[in-house]
Amino acid sequence: MSTGKRQPSRPRWWRRGAPAALTGLAAAAAAIGAGELVAAFTGADSSPVLAVGSQAIDLTPTPLKDYAVRTFGTHDKFVLLSGIHATLVLLALAAGVLSARWRPAGVAVFLLFAGVGAWVAAVRAVAVWPALTAGTVGAVVLWWLSGLGRRACRSESSGPTRRTVLGATGGVLAVGVVADLGGRALAGARSSVAAARAGVRLPAPAHPGPALPPRVHPDIAGLSPFTTANRDFYRVDTALTLPQIDPRRWSLRVHGMVDRPLELDFDQLLRLPLEELDYTLSCVSNEVGGPYVGTARWLGASLPALLRRAGVRAGADQLVGRSKDHMSIGTPLDSVLDGRPALLAVGMNGEPLPVAHGFPCRSVVPGFYGYTSATKWLVDLEVTAFAAYSPYWVERGWDRHGVVRTASRIEVPAPFAHLRAGAVMVAGTAWATHRGIAAVEVRVDGGPWRQAHLAEAVGPDTWRQWTWEWADAQPGTHTLQVRATDATGATQPEQRQPPFPAGATGWHGIVAIVE
């Protein structure tokens, strides 16, 4: 080069812009860290990131939410939080660059954040302090770092060097990340009800469930067990952090169109005669052949008995359950009272309800999808009318009744399994909760339907497993399909419908390769 001077390898906007952007990132880390630390004392659901995330879930249009559950399944919340964090990173980088040009601009971005966070907190009725602290800390830190940066640029001999600015930025970033992780760990430890749950002693049932007949489960490798272990039970809810309810501070209010409103604490609930119920719970969002279904032995008090004690008034046709996390779930009242074993459940497969499944109390009403019957973290029951109130999912367009549709799936062989020609065992599960399964049929390559062998039934409220021997599988690629008939004689329709708004329909099929 003519000057003999080493040319900068990167353009000027990068040399100036990248460190400036980093100051924005560091300020954001400090802000989030401060917010989490304060939230550790004001309650986990006041964390600004979680509050904004929860608000986003509630504002998400139904088709998008449906898509998210379908595409990301149980990871939908992780995807949402990642999206929020990615958005924050981009905004923070921009705030850093802005404040290098004009210091008040970056500060304004953080104050705007504080405003949005505080507004969301107010709407959700959680503490506004975490959001206000976060915004203020972010604004002050960015003001300070961008000041340092300017003075370094003017390269006053006594002023800070570029190295000092980068060091300060890195230090703030590290402190922010540590505060974030620490705040979240502290919030978890402070609010955890793990110890309280471990201390719960469930009484023996007054009405124990009969032992499961041994032949409810065909012993075939790859077929799901009849009873789903708690740790394998699907989880669907809108909770970004699991509500932590200390049973000693829990109570259930029963009110609305009743003659004698009542309130019941956990000890009183446990003193009621408890029943055991084997019951298959399923989610309306389950696709044909999907995994959002499970069977457990639930233990709980009779829900209809409690409603009778309160005295249901004429004209009521809906029972609305509300949870600690403000979910509302409405069930047709005549069904709850028609003699089916509806429960206020406290136990699941021999232990207190896991926190993820509604500890300390949830409802279950056989025959209905979870979204119209199975309120987790239940704290309030209101007897009302459909005309008077639309619960959360109904407000978002889902069918207000939510009666479980007949469903069946092939579990063995697995999709695209490579099989040896000859005799092949086909097996799976079918459910039509509260109606019961009367028949399951299987067909190969669109040929005639063949009756599957039904394993023993426990009752109409649980799924039924089935097997079918494919006697002479020939080499080639084959399609296997299944359909079930419920105890009313209705066979699953072939026509495919998506889960929205009343549950998926259509036959499940798999492709198998016979060699």
> Which residue ranges make up the site for ligand MTE (CB under 6 A)?
233-238, 281, 283, 323, 325, 327, 329, 357, 370-371, 374-377
Stretch that binds Mo ion, among 232-240, 270-278, 313-321, 342-350 (CB under 5 A): 232-240
CB 234 → Mo ion: shortest distance, Å?
A: 9
AA letter at 387: A
| C-alpha–C-alpha distance, residues 157 and 171, integer Å | 23
By beta-carbon proximity to ligand MTE, the closer residue of 37 and 303 is 303
Among 69, 137, 223, 236, binds Mo ion (CB under 5 A): 236
| C-alpha–C-alpha distance, residues 411 and 138, integer Å | 52
Could you tell me which of 138, 167, 143, 142 has the C-alpha nearest to residue 32?
138
Question: How many residues interact with Mo ion (rule CB under 5 A)?
Answer: 4
233 binds, among ligand MTE, Mo ion, none (CB under 5 to 8 A by kind): ligand MTE
CB 299 → Mo ion: shortest distance, Å?
A: 22
**Beta-carbon neighbour count of residue 373 at 10 Å?**
27
Contacts of 231 (CB under 8 A, 6+ apart): none
Question: Can you name the residues that pair with 505 across neighbouring β-strands?
Answer: 497
Stretch that binds Mo ion, among 47-55, 76-84, 347-355, 363-371 (CB under 5 A): 363-371
357 binds, among ligand MTE, Mo ion, none (CB under 5 to 8 A by kind): ligand MTE
Q: Is the peptide bond before 413 cis (omega within 30 degrees of 0)?
A: yes
CB 470 → ligand MTE: shortest distance, Å?
A: 33
376 binds, among Mo ion, ligand MTE, none (CB under 5 to 8 A by kind): ligand MTE
What are φ and ψ of residue 508, in 5° steps? -85, 140
238 binds, among ligand MTE, Mo ion, none (CB under 5 to 8 A by kind): ligand MTE
- The runs of H, that is alpha helices, within 43-75 are 48-59, 62-72
User: Of residues 97-156, which lie at the interface with Mo ion (CB under 5 A)?
Assistant: none
Among 117, 300, 360, 370, binds Mo ion (CB under 5 A): 370
In angstroms, the Cα distances linking 302 to 140, 151, 257, 311, 353 are 57, 72, 19, 15, 16
By beta-carbon proximity to ligand MTE, the closer residue of 327 and 430 is 327
CB 258 → ligand MTE: shortest distance, Å?
A: 22
CB 369 → Mo ion: shortest distance, Å?
A: 6
CB 186 → Mo ion: shortest distance, Å?
A: 32
DSSP string, 357-396: GTTT-EEE-TTB-GGGT--TTEEEEEEE-TTT---HHHHT
Could you tell me which of 500, 275, 325 has the C-alpha nearest to residue 402?
500
In angstroms, the Cα distances linking 352 to 13, 209, 267 are 60, 17, 14
By beta-carbon proximity to Mo ion, the closer residue of 283 and 381 is 283
Instruction: Determine, following the binding rule CB under 5 A, whether residue 371 of this chain makes contact with Mo ion.
Output: yes
Rg (CA), the chain: 29
**Residues 274-313 vs Mo ion: string with x where CB under 5 A?**
---------x------------------------------
CB 331 → ligand MTE: shortest distance, Å?
A: 11
By beta-carbon proximity to ligand MTE, the closer residue of 357 and 508 is 357
Scanning the structure block, which residue is given the tokens 């799901």?
Answer: 224
DSSP annotation of 60 reads: S
Q: Yes or no: say if 452 and 425 are a contact pair by the CB < 8 Å rule.
A: no
Instruction: Determine, following the binding rule CB under 5 A, whether residue 330 of this chain makes contact with Mo ion.
Output: no
CB 243 → ligand MTE: shortest distance, Å?
A: 7
